[in-house]
Structure 1
């Protein structure tokens, strides 16, 4: 059971139902054994009034007179009366109900007024002394309630199943609102943390969770933490952006100085040094451009300019450009795709992301090998697979490939001119399109980068 709401709801419901069921059952059986006070009082009055009169009739007219008296009493008032001698033997020729016989026996042994233990609640048996001083036991059964009164009584006392069903419904409603009141703030906090984790650093809970309890305190702490993290990340991004902009100016001046130096006569060694300086300056310029792109993608502005374009044509142009670079190492980029692949998104961002992935594969594939680029269509997404035939990547480094400035081998990256930013840019651009990008080693050697782009972004 993974839902906290469901756990709390069922636990509260079970506990309340157990307690309430026990109370209802005990009350039910207590009411069965002990009649209500109004019935007890009426039964006592009936025995006091009719009991002595029945004894007087019996002592004067015998059993026949007593039976006639009982018959008239039953027809006129609905009260059934039976007289027992001091040994609790019935003084009648008619059939004696077992319930009334048992009450007479109990009254004889206890010497007290007794009521039925179970079942009907409208009977009573008691000791009564006649005019002659003899001891008798009188048992009576009161008339049943009218139909309407029985109906009300049945709903409230008689039908235990209905009482439990009504109790279950009321308890379920109470437990639902109780569990909802406890878990709703947790749900709001979870949605806020999920939104914050997805990159929206401006997420705050604010007044969504009110009160002075622990959850309200946790929401306040979350807002305070989110504010500090947003400020730190913002300061870091601003620093990167400012440094990148500031470096552009001296690089431009360095380029101008290199052109002026080349216009003057210089030795071969000087020309070689100038070429090296120009290469390093160009690399630094490229890195600064990538830093600015990465900062823009991580700025928190998730709005992607949407436009329809042919993804197949975009990849075809990128593969054609990559082949020029691959020819210097006698490599080739092979492209497999359907004729048309219409996609809605930012063509500029995806071009930059896909170019970084393809050029990365060309850099690290072995000489005289093939880099394959496959575009696969499906009902819900487009899948792009870029595979090289290089040495692959250590398994522990696969998850870090898309982190900024991460490089598996520093010496190799410097040799190929890598800075560890290209794949990070690709990951941010793909994520802005609600897509995914993953890396894994191929069984036949090399690295496979797989990109999925949902058709509905």
Structure 2
């Protein structure tokens, strides 16, 4: 908070100094104008004294009062004092001023021109005295005499204190959430992924609270990504360990029982194929999780792509008395990665063929609107429990017979997948700004609907997820 405090403090004082300088300059210019005006209006005090002297001596008190009434109040006052010490206009006269006026008249003639004795036609004695300043300001009380000096000092100290206090409060208010953000950033960098700051910042409004919410969103996303990577690594390690263990066992049995070599070699071949398939799917998933900025884009005819995939899958499906039917309702093209799209559709349709019962049909429909392309894949299998529908697109998510509405005893253990096919499909579709969702059909079976934007030639593949 220290550096922020001094920046605020110096900034306030610099602003205050500049403002004071401008105001002072303007005030000085106005004061100069006023002095010029006063100088123009000021009367000659000696001439005034002569006029008062002659008015009192020849015309009397009333004539002197009229002259005093015309006296400029901003100039040095001329007092007319009688023998009792009272001023002609009843203005208060401090004792020191009165004493000075009397002492001045006792001096030799001409040595004190600011004081003159005069008598009225009635013979009353008066003193015409040029006072040093206004009578109300002559010999003021001691406290009043020093008050302006004290006032300036008090005002200066008050301004410094108020500025210090304001700067301290403002710096604390601004630096407190920033300090929380800094501490949270250090904790997050050290591996504490559960770190959040909004519970410390509170219900503030403004940019700092927005930054705090963005930080919490980033930390939550980062925690999810890292946890997902850890889980993925753990799952991959587990998936690799099982076929490797079976391979090692088969090789050991070949050594111990040579007469079973042929059957064991089939098992080794099967497990090596499973390993190759797992590594291939994992590499595809890693590619989808990475940056596709270097991927090539082409115009992909979705109808032709689906026809090729279904032709290949029907070759195997007919061996199991199953069929895949395609309904093309419109010609549809988009700009994207043909290989990724092929993987996505192949995994979804192949999954439907795997779980649909014999002597049943997998329906694939392609439709197009003004801005979207929709591909639906429906099987006649057992369907999936509603609670599991949201997890089937997660890595290594497998659906067991207990998760289905009816058991599927025909499903062989060797035909179990790795739980990556639908994950790859989900990532590939989302890379193309599309969506994929699954739901159970009322008449039975599972339907997966894929929606893609009908892209233009200039549309690129997304580098991130929505």
What interval of TM-score do these two structures reach, taking the shorter chain for normalisation?
0.3 to 0.5
| TM-score scaled by length of structure 1 | 0.45
Q: Which is greater in Rg? A: 2
Q: TM-score, normalised by structure 2?
A: 0.45
